[in-house]
Chains A and B, each alone.
Chain A
Amino acid sequence: MSLLRYRPDFFDSLKEVHLPFDPEVLASLRAGDLISLTGTLYTGRDQTHRRFEALLDRGEPLPIDLAGQLLYYVGPSPAQPGQVIGAAGPTTSYRMDTYTPRLLELGLSGTMGKGSRSPQVREAMVQHRAVYLATFGGAGALLSKCIKEAEVVAFEDAGPEALFRFRVEEFPAVVINDILGNDFYEMVHQEKI
């Protein structure tokens, strides 16, 4: 089993990025950059976004200030005794597309999931200087090892769809959309990188 290692070499070649984002670092990220995230982020998926929207529609504040933050699309599996969190890989991002421009207007600096974003989201990211990151779908056990603390901040009744705060260390991701409007999936598709 020597082929199986906890820490692929890949992890050593990533560009370090601290969370919440520093505006200068955020602006320097480019589509295709392999990065390693350390700091705090928030989570949310379908239900979390529905509830955000309901609050905003009623003119009520969100449970967290999104300015400068990274929102990770994940619904973790339950933690076992002694674990910080269960498996916690990305869910598919397009389902959050309809909600995202409004959150970017509130100052959200980045989102992370897997798969392409809509033209509307891409446009809003350029307008509000935000990035979209992809992490590795189907690597939930490995990614859980990069999550050092996890706590539910709101919507606990939504189970896996609750809003969590994670403290992450060396969490790997790829920059898909940068603030200039580049899209790494498109670059791969066009150039067959």
Chain B
Amino acid sequence: MDAGTQLEPDILEALLAARDSEESLLARHVLELFISNADIASREKIPVCQDTGVAVLFVDIGQDIQVEGSLEDAIQEGVKRGYQDGYLRSSVCDPLTRVNTGTNTPAVIHYEITPGDQLKISMLPKGCGSENMSGLAMLPPSAGIQGMIDFVVEQAVKAGPNPCPPIIVGVGMGGTFEKAAYLAKKSLLRPLGEASRRQDVAELEQQILAEINRQGVGVQGLGGNHTALAVHIESFPSHIASLPVAVNIQCHAHRHKEMVL
């Protein structure tokens, strides 16, 4: 529930910093409005954005623990209750009939087995104005690093005002078709603006961020120097014939929450 009404400190700080360094007066006003919005949302328990998302959960299961009963059912039930009790919007429907399930379930759940005896659940309520602007390219390896940079920048810029900029750009480089997409989404869980631990990747994140912000889309597509707040890249080895790159775009109303059991 909190994940709907509460922006985490990392995103709030990024919005404040963006406002203070924004060159466009209009964009500065709009950033100010987003900061007020976060304040109202948190004090009055109103969702930050009416699109309270499809619930995407990353579940890290320590290999030393045993779960009694169905973990999947428990999580789905938790999502259902959280959305109902929190007055969050039910936004999930059948893809063919477009009939709303009315509970915001099923949630999209990704499981990973990790060392240790903890169960960690990360929740990312994902709005789809931004999700719809995501994309994936199966580049030829000859496209190289520049090919990946060009694709990521193009994807972020052609999205224009649609994904509610300033955006956060999650990028998955390498792996396979689905691995790249998974990494792009997972990179959004990283505290905002925290650099990749790989030096060359961290430099690439800064280079792409600067390039996107040079393009002038700006806050809400109204101009200025903050089209993106951060670029997060996760990489994974790929096949010698392949260079997948996936871009998952997240809006400035970036909500996320983690808990460890």
Most buried by B among A1, A7, A134, A192: A192
Query: Which stretch in A17-25, A63-71, A81-89, A103-111 binds the other chain?
Result: A81-89
| Interface status of A126 (Cβ within 8 A of chain B) | no
Tally A-B pairs: CB < 8 A: 168
Do B30 and A141 touch across chains, with their CB atoms under 8 A apart?
A: no
A-contact bits for B37-67, CB 8 A (1 contact / 0 none): 1111100111111111000000000000000
B-facing residues in A108-147 (Cβ within 8 Å) = 114-116, 134, 136-145
Number of interface residues of B (CB under 8 A): 50
A-facing residues in B143-170 (Cβ within 8 Å) = 160-164
Interface of B is mostly: loop
Do B46 and A160 touch across chains, with their CB atoms under 8 A apart?
A: no
Do A193 and B253 touch across chains, with their CB atoms under 8 A apart?
A: no
Most buried by B among A9, A50, A87: A87
Do A116 and B161 touch across chains, with their CB atoms under 8 A apart?
A: yes
Within the complex, the shortest CB–CB distance from B53 to chain A, in Å, comes to 11
A-B CB contact pairs (8 Å), 14 listed: A1-B39, A5-B39, A10-B30, A75-B91, A77-B89, A86-B46, A94-B162, A114-B220, A137-B49, A138-B48, A140-B51, A141-B49, A172-B33, A185-B160
For the complex of A and B, 4 pairs with smallest distance between CB atoms: A137-B164, A141-B41, A138-B253, A4-B39
Known: A91-B129, A188-B222. 16 other contacts (CB 8 A): A10-B33, A76-B89, A77-B87, A77-B88, A87-B41, A87-B49, A89-B50, A114-B164, A134-B161, A138-B37, A138-B49, A138-B164, A139-B33, A139-B37, A142-B33, A193-B26
